[in-house]
Amino acid sequence: MTKITKAEWMCMICASASHDSDEFGRTLEEHIKVQHGIDKKMYDNLLKEGIGASKLKVKMLNYPNDIKLPMISFLSQTWGPTFDLEKYTDEEVNNMIKIALNGKTLSTVFESLNFTFQIDGLSRASSHQLVRVRIGSGFSQKGMSDTYYGDTDYIIPASVIAAGKLEKYKKSMEVSRKVYIDLFKSGVAYQDARFILPHCVTTSVVWTVNFLALKNFCNKRMMRNQSWEMNALCQLIKFEIKKVYPELAEILVPVCDYSKKCNSFGNLFEGCGKYPLEKQHNRYVFESAQIARNIKFNKEYVEKTIFHNKSVKPVNNHFLLLAREKENITKEFYGKYAHDIYVELKNCYKLGDLTVATGLKKIINTFDELYSHFEQYETTNNSVVFYEYVKLNNLEYFKNIIMTVTLLIFNKKIDDVISESWYLHQIKNKKYNDGWYYDGIRGVLKDLHRKVQRLKTGFANNQFNYFQESDLYDTLLYTIFLIVGLKSKLQLRGEKNVEC
């Protein structure tokens, strides 16, 4: 069995792990360089993109207190003397366990050990494979007919990025998500709306399984011609078991590691090349099956993706959620203005009959108009002109901007956007102390201007991809931040009952 000499790791791209017999004690850095042609920095950036197994989590909820008692009991029943652990020396007990682990006893001995795992961030595609373990298994899976999936996360196989198809993939998922939300808002029940969702959406499963079934599962699903996600699931389960029973973890290996020959899953798939084929049959079903292990990245493409993608927010905006949790910022703390805007948005919601194209045009036109007044303010330094203008005319435009962007692009998470905008507001507040109303708004408007210019270019070239979506998202956040700031300012200046 493999000795682990360096820090433990699992590659999120192909699910190779430090304990694999073919890693030869390589570090993760060495593995990704040889296997995928990238350095650690690029790998980390791909992880931020949410590639491969980066979202998959396995937690062992339950495991046997002791393996000796049930195992020796099982074994001694079939070997003759009635079980009595005290009759055996420690050495004898360890020997018997060793013999069992080497497969030289009835394999049913492993049925005496039960484990329960909580599995999160697994694709629906793979959960279908997992629940085929019917003997010695019990499952409970997150339902789709009683759970809202409009804000669900999804899996991105690394090969999609390697093939340069990330944008297309994300776009397709977002379309499905939008249709799902639209169906739901039109009164279609969860159980019917879910039909539109693709296999990549994530699910959670609680799995109780005896060790014999688990071992058989890992023997098959750890083979390299199997899906990388199933490989990854097995590896993470192995890591969990290794924490308590390393001797059990050691026998969770692909079956070819025992035979040193490739049976390539009954010749159903092409072998990965680790061992020579056991028998050459002429019946490959998937001759050109892509093996995740062999994914090589086009550095240029990945760099380009990551470079342009810096400001794209993760789907669930974990960073901000965590930051809020950490600082114990409550809903009340968001304050009155955020609440007012929230109510406003809810009202605007009824008017949402615009398309993306008219929505974008509207944002660009209204922003241009506002910005020209802002420039005037900058040159004259006459804040009254600008703020009076905003007060008299443009708060209405802001409302339209917020309404349009929210409805058309991000209506799935109004609450999140509002909360975030208020969080940004607080950050700026701290940074600029009381002077932020001047410098803060000025900085925001300038940044907003740059983003709108980029949107404009994209729009003129008839391009709307997720880079622009990211700009739009920022535009929305800043706009709400701005409106909060302006309202504060106008109220601070003694203007009561500001309409917007």
**Are 265 and 219 a contacting pair, CB within 8 Å?**
no
Strand 202-210: give its sheet, edge to edge.
57-62, 114-123, 202-210, 137-141
Complex with Zn ion: residue 296 or 450, whichever CB lies closer: 296
Q: To the nearest whole angstrom, how small is the minimum distance from the Cβ of residue 160 to Zn ion?
A: 15
Whether residue 293 lies in the annotated active site? no
Site string for Zn ion, 171-190 (x = CB under 5 A): --------------------
Whole-angstrom Cα Rg for the chain: 29
Q: Greatest CA span in the chain, whole angstroms?
A: 100
Q: CB under 5 A: which stretch of 3-11, 126-134, 275-283, 462-470 binds Zn ion?
A: 3-11
Nearer to Zn ion, 36 or 451 (CB): 36
Counting Cα atoms < 13 Å in the Cβ hemisphere of 422 gives 21
AA letter at 167: E
Task: Give the total of residues touching Zn ion (CB under 5 A).
Answer: 5
The least distance separating Zn ion from the CB of residue 31, rounded to whole angstroms, comes to 6
- C-alpha distances out from residue 436 to 255, 370, 444, Å: 64, 20, 10
Q: How far apart are CA 188 and CA 195, in angstroms?
A: 11
State the minimum distance, in angstroms, from the CB of residue 35 to Zn ion: 5
Q: How far apart are CA 353 and CA 29, in angstroms?
A: 51
Which one, 22 or 344, has the nearer CB to Zn ion? 22
Q: 26, 194, 221, 224: which one is catalytic?
A: 221
Angstrom CA distances, 286 to 26, 125, 267, stand at: 31, 18, 9
Is 116 exposed, middle or buried, given 0-12, 13-18 or 19+ CB atoms closer than 10 A?
A: middle
| Residue closest to Zn ion (Cβ) | 11
> Rounded to the nearest whole angstrom, what is the least distance from the CB of residue 40 to Zn ion in the complex?
12
Q: How far is the CB of 12 from Zn ion (least distance, A)?
A: 8
Distance, CA of 213 to CA of 215 (rounded, Å): 5
Cα 428 from chain centre: 28
- Shortest Å distance, C-beta 125 to Zn ion: 20
Which one, 26 or 177, has the nearer CB to Zn ion? 26
CA-closest candidate to residue 275, choices 224, 203, 222 = 224
114 CB-near residues (< 8 Å, 6+ apart): 62, 63, 64, 208, 209, 210, 211
Residue 13 or 448 having the CB closest to Zn ion: 13
Provide the minimum distance between the beta carbon of 231 and Zn ion in the complex, in angstroms, as a whole number: 10
- The 8-37 contact track toward Zn ion, x by CB under 5 A, reads ---x-xx-x------------------x--
The nearer residue to Zn ion, 163 or 427, going by C-beta atoms, is: 163
Q: Which is nearer to Zn ion, 14 or 222 (CB)?
A: 14
Specify the stretch interacting with Zn ion by CB under 5 A; choose among 7-15, 276-284, 334-342, 434-442. Answer: 7-15
Of 35 and 419, which CB lies nearer to Zn ion in the complex structure? 35
Nearer residue to Zn ion within complex by CB, 12 or 341: 12
Phi, psi of 269 (to 5 degrees): -120, 160
Shortest distance, CB of residue 379 to Zn ion, whole angstroms?
57
Residues 6+ apart with CB under 8 A from 301: 161, 164
The reply to whether 38 sits near Zn ion by the rule CB under 5 A is no
Nearer to Zn ion by Cβ, of 33 and 456: the residue is 33
CA distances to 50, 268, 277 from 271, in Å: 28, 9, 7
Known catalytic residues are 221
Site residues (vs Zn ion, CB under 5 A): 11, 13-14, 16, 35
